[in-house]
């Protein structure tokens, strides 16, 4: 089953929390690398994306090291990596800041991957989703773990409003292996 919707003119938003990071002593938060568990989880999510024909046109990636490393592993495992744009505004962004950033996406972009951080990513996803897979929404509300991926259908980037998204799926590395 493909998670790509047949809804004409729909946009797909893929919200991915960075993979599990390490906490080295004395290291600035922005510079934290992935932990071994994170290096294993990112390719699992990439395989899920490939299996479900999830092919974003554009990826917005936080400039934090752990999100950049998540991107590197994901891009290396996808059949065709999307165009990447570093987005410093995603680091420490709250739900409102993420919504503002996404409303500026060019309308020609049909599918968008965002690799960011909690709590902003989870808060944004919960604010955005108004319908869809209720079981997945409940799981997402309980915990949006590292390398968790929310697949959300929206009408347009410029009109992202609370409850305007349709949650198609929410997957985590634990569910995949």
Terminal Cα distance for the chain, rounded: 19
Query: Residue 84 region, left (φ>0) first, then alpha (ψ -120 to 50), else beta?
Result: beta
The predicted pLDDT at position 8 comes to 63
Domain 11-176 maps to which CATH number in 3.40.1440.60, 3.40.50.1820, 3.20.20.70, 3.40.50.1240? Answer: 3.40.50.1240
The pLDDT tens digits for 108-151 are: 999 999 999 999 999 999 999 999 999 999 999 999 999 999 99
Q: What is the mean pLDDT of residues 142-165?
A: 96
Q: What is the pTM of this model?
A: 0.93
Residue 5: which pLDDT band, with cuts at 50, 70 and 90?
very low
The predicted pLDDT at position 20 comes to 95
DSSP state of 155: S
The predicted pLDDT at position 26 comes to 86
Per-residue pLDDT for 80 more than 70? yes
The predicted pLDDT at position 103 comes to 97
Q: What is the mean pLDDT of residues 152-163?
A: 96
Q: Where are the domains of the chain?
A: 11-176
Per-residue pLDDT for 154 more than 70? yes
Residue 139, phi then psi, degrees to nearest 5:
-60, -40
The pLDDT tens digits for 6-63 are: 456 899 999 999 999 998 888 898 999 999 999 999 999 999 999 999 999 999 999 9
Q: What is the DSSP string of 36-63?
A: HHHHHHHHHHHHHHHHTT---SEEEE-S
């Amino acid at each position: 089953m493909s998670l790509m919707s047949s809804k004409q003119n729909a946009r797909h938003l893929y919200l991915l929390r960075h993979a599990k990071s390490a906490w080295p002593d004395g290291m600035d938060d922005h510079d934290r690398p992935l932990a071994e568990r994170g290096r294993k989880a990112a390719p699992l999510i990439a395989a899920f994306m490939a299996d479900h024909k999830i092919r974003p046109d554009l990826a917005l990636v936080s400039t934090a090291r752990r999100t950049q490393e998540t991107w590197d592993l994901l891009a290396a495992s996808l059949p065709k990596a999307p165009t990447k744009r570093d987005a410093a505004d995603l680091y420490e962004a709250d739900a409102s800041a993420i919504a503002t950033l996404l409303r500026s996406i060019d309308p020609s972009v049909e599918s968008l991957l965002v690799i960011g951080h909690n709590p902003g990513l989870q808060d944004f996803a919960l604010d955005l989703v108004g319908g869809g897979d209720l079981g997945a929404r409940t799981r997402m509300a309980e915990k949006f773990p590292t390398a968790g991926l929310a697949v959300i259908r929206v009408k347009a980037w410029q009109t992202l409003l609370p409850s305007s998204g349709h949650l198609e799926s929410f997957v985590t590395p634990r569910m995949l292996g």
